[in-house]
Each structure stands twice: as C-alpha cells, then as structure tokens.
Structure 1
Amino acid sequence: MLNYLKCAFTLCCIFVCLPLSAKLITITEKQYQSGGYLVVQAAPYSMVEFLDTSYTLDAKGYLSIGLSREVSGNKRISITSPSGEVERKTLRITPRKYKVQRVNGVPTSRVTPPAEVVKRIQAEAKKVRDVRAKIGDYDYWRTDVFQWPVQGRITGVYGSERFYNGKAGSPHWGIDIAAPKGESVYAPAGGKIVLAEEDLYYSGGTIILDHGAGVFSTFLHLSSVDVKVGQFVKKGEHIAAVGSTGRSTGPHLDWRMNIRDVRVDAALWIKE
C-alpha cells in the first residue's frame, strides 16, 4: 500500500509540474524586415515550415532563416517537434524602401557582356550556387559576434536599385565599403573557405566564407586572395586585400551575405 501511494504521489507531481501547453519554438534572434533574418531554437531535428519552404533544425536545435529583399507583411511559421507536436506563429515583416544608385564609367563589356563570355558567366554563377548548396556543420554563425571586414566609407547599400551607365541592372546585394587598394580584409566571423577565385567576370577576386548552417559571407573585387579552399579561418583573421577587379569603378570591398539561397543584408549582422 505504501509503495502504491508513493507511485501515485510521483505521478501526480509529474502531471502538476508539466505545463499544459509547452512552448515548442523560440526565436532567439530576429531582424523582422525585408533582407533580415531569424534564428529559431527548438528540439533538435524539429521541422519548420516558412514561406513554402521546409527546414530541419540541426543536432543542437538551431536554424537560420533568411528574409529576402521582397518579403514583407504577415507571414506564418510553423514547427513540428520530433514527437509530432505542432506550434504556429505569425511574424510581421516590415517592408523597406530602397535607394536608387547610378553607377557611371563602367566598361561597356561589364554592363552588356559580349557573346563570347556568356558561357563563362553562366559557369561561374553555377559554381557559386553549388558552393552555397552545401550546408556546413559549424557554429561560427551563432557563436561569433560579426564585425566589419574592413573599415571605410559606405558607398553602396543592400537592396538598392542599380543603373550602370544608365542601364537598369539587378539590385545591389551587398555593402560597398570604400578603402585603399591593398587594405586588409578580415573575416567578419569564423568559418571555412569554400570558394577562392582570383578572377570571376563580374566580381573579380572573390571569396566565399561558410559560417555554418547555410550562412555565407562573400567578398568581391579583391586585389589579392590570400586563403585557399578548405582552409578554416578565425574571426578577425586576414583573408584578402581590397581591390577594384571585375565590374568596379574604384577600390572598395563589396561584402554580401546569404542564408542558403536567400540574399540578406550583411549590415544587420553587425552588433559591435
């Protein structure tokens, strides 16, 4: 009888202590605006549905999601735990107004490429896409506090409408930071070098740094690429030098960030 009462008391405590409706999802970081991002924390390997895309949290229970330039308004996010519990939230994404920037003095061949380089451009674009399709299992993206890769005057911002020699181009996806040619470029956070090219047609000297979980930094127009593919670098480590290679009219660093295939605003990752 005594054992029965002990068992009953234990069961009672379990039911009293457990919440009736446990919170499945926590958004630990958020930039609820076009070009922003959110960091989701929940049970490892939970499934998330957002903007018609399915994601799986990593083994530590984290997930990064990018918000594209065009995303705004009320958007629904849902999470399903490994045990089948479901939670839904509505996120309010603030729209942004983007600047118009006119860039003149660009060589004609970099605005309207000649037919003989089209295949080269397509091959380079595929190489970049393939690199970003691989998700690295690293935690730098959430353990390091991002810093500016170079100091200088901001001459171009994320999302702006670009006109090259008067001709409309794609939106600008990075932050342009004016600096002298040869100025050191430093890793804004740790990660693995997954692309290191001396001369891509549009971006010239180019590096892609994988911070893990689909979070990538890309550095364009470099005069010197001082790392190799497969190399791990720490936050603040020298990786390259500022230049004006590719489609550029003067020395500067174009720093871009992606979360998987979504282009996000790198400036929103700076907390220092």
Structure 2
Amino acid sequence: MIRLGLVLGLVLFPALAWAAPVELEGHFKQGGLIFGKTDPDAKVVFAGTTVRVAGSGRFVFGFGRDFKETATLTVELPTGEVERRVLKIEKRSYPTERLKGLPPSKVTPSEKFLKRIRKENGEIARLRAVDTEEEWYLSGWQWPAIGRVSGVYGSQRILNDIPKRPHFGLDVAAPVGTPIMASTDGKVKMVEEDLFYTGGTVMIDHGHGLVSVYSHLSKLDVKVGDFVRQGTKIGEIGKTGRATGAHLDWRLNWFKERLDPELLLGAMPKN
C-alpha cells in the first residue's frame, strides 16, 4: 500500500519552491499528476481553467500524453498577491507497434457498432467531467492487480498502416479470475458488464476530477454508488470487450487529461 503522505516525501516527487505560500509536488512530465496546496480561499487557474481548491487548501491538476511543453499556473491569494509561474513539462517518447495483414473488422468497427460506441463514449465522457469536492485521492495509490505489465501508457499501434488511438492505460496481464482491488478510495460511478471496447468496466471517482477506469473485467463485485476503500476487491481480471488476452487495463484521468498511473506507483508487489 502506498499512502499519499509517504509518496510525496520521495525523491520521485521533487517539490517546486514558490515565493508565495503555494506548494506543488508531482511529476512535471507528460502523463504526470501534480498535487498542490495553498490558502483555501485562493483562486487557482491552470492553463486557463479554474481549478477546485478544497477547504484544506489542496488542489490537483495533470498533464496528458501529448501536453505542450509549458503551461501557466496562476494563484491569486486572498491578500491580492498573485503568483504566476510558467511550468515546464518534460516531453516523453512512446513505443510504437506496427501490425499488418489484420482483418478490416479488427482495425475499424463497422457502422453497425458505431452508434453503440458513440453512446458509450458519451456516458464515459460525462462521468469524467464530474468535479466533486471530496479528497478521496488522499488515500494514495496501490497496484490494483498483481501480474505482468503487458502494456504501458502512451504506446500506439499502427494497424494495416492506420494509426490508432494511443494507449492511455497501464495493462497488467494475469489469469482470468485474478482479483482486482481499488487502487484508491472513491465512489463507484459506473459498473458495466459489456461495453464495446472495454467489456466489463468499473469507473471510480476519487474527487477533484480524478477518475480511474478498470477494464476487461470478467466479474464485477461493486455497484454504482458504492464507496470503496483502497484495497477493496472490485472485480476480477478477464478478457471481455476488445481484448486479445486476459488482462486489466487500468487508467487514470484528470477530467479530459489522461494520466499515467504508473508514475504514482512503486515496484509491482510480489505474489
């Protein structure tokens, strides 16, 4: 188990010093999540978007896979003091895999399925836009399943010379039935047995726009509205949806920004 209070003290999370009473810690790179703290009555604006500040003064924001190299953070304190900082975001390179000779149905869904896909994606986007005031993410982050890392964040496949969407998650391969645990405290927002791409799917809200997604499950052990603690079993690994083998596809989003959950973790635990 990895608790946030412990993780922030590691060298993996170097602090950024400010003249004003503002603290920032996290990975300043594409896919990174930043934890901030300031006066509870401060106004925080990141890249032109106002960020929720909790009563504790904490706030979060993150950088997506292809986030630009700089972004401006503005903090306006109750005293009227304004701190503006141009943040430098480290650019990353991602692995690419080319596959040829695949049946067309494996590359582009038929029109028959597109309506279903759009509907499902619309609901997923709606839930990713949820901005709750709870700070459940303070429980920290742990590996949701134990197995072989079979897919990494940011990678991309080119199928029959057609570039597909990058992979925005972390894949853990393990036998069907392997337990999946909630990585972080939160409230369950979606439980679906058969989405087109992700099959058995669970979405959990961790507060402040942080939502995790667990995909390709063979069994679902929670329901919408459940509050789950870190380490609670939420389902089992499967190969449902568009999966070629048994694995968990685990993702973390900050609103529209798709983050790299592996940056928040230590080494994979042993069985």
For normalisation by structure 1, the TM-score amounts to 0.86
1:149 aligns with 2:147: no
* TM-aligned CA deviation for residue 161 of structure 1: 1.5
CA distance in 2 between counterparts of 1:247 and 1:63 reads: 35
Q: What is the DSSP-based 3-state SS (H/G/I as helix, E as strand, rest coil) of the residue aligned with 1:223?
A: strand
| Higher radius of gyration, 1 or 2 | 1
Report the structure, 1 or 2, having the larger helix content.
Answer: 1
CA distance in 1 between counterparts of 2:243 and 2:68 reads: 31
Decide which of 214, 228, 231 is 2:226's aligned counterpart. Answer: 231
CA distance in 1 between counterparts of 2:98 and 2:199 reads: 20
The sequence identity of aligned pairs, in percent, is 39
Q: How has the CA–CA distance of structure 1 residues 121 and 256 changed in structure 2, closer, same or farther, with 3 Å as cutoff? A: same
CA contact (8 A) 1:32 1:94 kept: yes
CA distance in 1 between counterparts of 2:254 and 2:195 reads: 22
CA distance in 2 between counterparts of 1:24 and 1:168 reads: 45
CA distance in 1 between counterparts of 2:78 and 2:101 reads: 56
For 1:1-272, what aligned pairs fall within 5 Å after superposition? 23-27=20-24, 29-102=25-98, 108-142=104-138, 144-164=139-159, 167-271=162-266
**TM-superposition CA deviations, 1:81-102 (whole Å, max 9, x none):** 2343211223221110111134
Q: RMSD over aligned Cα, in angstroms?
A: 2.0
CA contact (8 A) 1:31 1:37 kept: yes
CA distance in 2 between counterparts of 1:141 and 1:105 reads: 44
**TM-superposition CA deviations, 1:130-175 (whole Å, max 9, x none):** 1121122322212x12110001111111011223455321000001
For normalisation by structure 2, the TM-score amounts to 0.86
* TM-aligned CA deviation for residue 23 of structure 1: 1.7
Structure 1, unaligned stretches of length 5 or more?
Answer: 1-20
**TM-superposition CA deviations, 1:183-230 (whole Å, max 9, x none):** 110011111100000000111111101111111110111111111000
Number of aligned positions between the proteins: 250
Which deviates more, 87-96 or 236-245?
87-96
CA distance in 2 between counterparts of 1:103 and 1:44 reads: 51
Amino acid paired to 1:214 = G
CA distance in 2 between counterparts of 1:185 and 1:106 reads: 31
